[in-house]
Amino acid sequence: MAIRRIRELGDEVLTKKCKEVTKMNLRTRILIGDMLDTMYEAGGVGLAAPQVGVLKNIVVIDIGEGDGPITLVNPVILETAGEQSGDEGCLSVPGKAGVVTRPNYVKVRAQNENMEEIELEAEELLARAVCHEIDHLDGIMYVELVEGGLHDVEPEEED
């Protein structure tokens, strides 16, 4: 496993649409492992493949509530409900945050890292993370959705 370089806003790979993953192979398994390492190393709660420069429909999420990481391959949003507005940030836009309105509930169909069909129901922060990461697969950055502009955030203290 390895830490990959996180692409930042302005890198055109972040504006492109990702391709479907049709089969799991060693290269893609290594990518998923590296995405997890890179996300944890950077202190993020989610990471999409284009953020490490790979245009594949894969996201990893871990909001730190003990359920361990979630890997979504080819995720599709089936249902949304409700609304939440709150601060959102992105590892590709370091040191910034801004208010985005998202659904409060989402239901997603995807494959897991073994290409088994899964469904995920998410609320609140997890729903926000799922929507944010799936947007990356469509080349959408949250800064396009921010209400009222970006503001600076203090870097987290390292311990």
Q: What residues are annotated to the active site? A: 133
- Residue range at the interface with Zn ion (CB under 5 A); choices 70-78, 86-94, 100-108, 122-130: 86-94
- Type and span of the H or E element at 35: helix 26-42
Question: Looking at 90, 122, 130, 131, which residue binds Zn ion (CB under 5 A)?
Answer: 90
The residue number with the shortest CB distance to Zn ion is 90
How far are the Cα atoms of 17, 45, 49, 143, 155 from residue 28, in angstroms, in the given order? 18, 20, 10, 28, 31
Q: Does 100 bind Zn ion (CB under 5 A)?
A: no
- Residue range at the interface with Zn ion (CB under 5 A); choices 70-78, 87-95, 102-110, 146-154: 87-95
Cα 58 from Cα 134, distance rounded (Å):
9
Which residue type sits at 122?
A: A
**Residue among 36 and 90 whose Cβ is closer to Zn ion:** 90
Nearest C-alpha neighbor of 138 from the set 7, 5, 17:
17
Task: State the minimum distance, in angstroms, from the CB of residue 25 to Zn ion.
Answer: 26
- Residue range at the interface with Zn ion (CB under 5 A); choices 74-82, 85-93, 94-102, 147-155: 85-93
Q: Report DSSP state, residue 144.
A: G
Q: Does 134 bind Zn ion (CB under 5 A)?
A: no
- How many distinct helices (H) and strands (E) make up the chain? 2, 8
Task: State the minimum distance, in angstroms, from the CB of residue 61 to Zn ion.
Answer: 11
Residues that bind Zn ion (CB under 5 A): 90
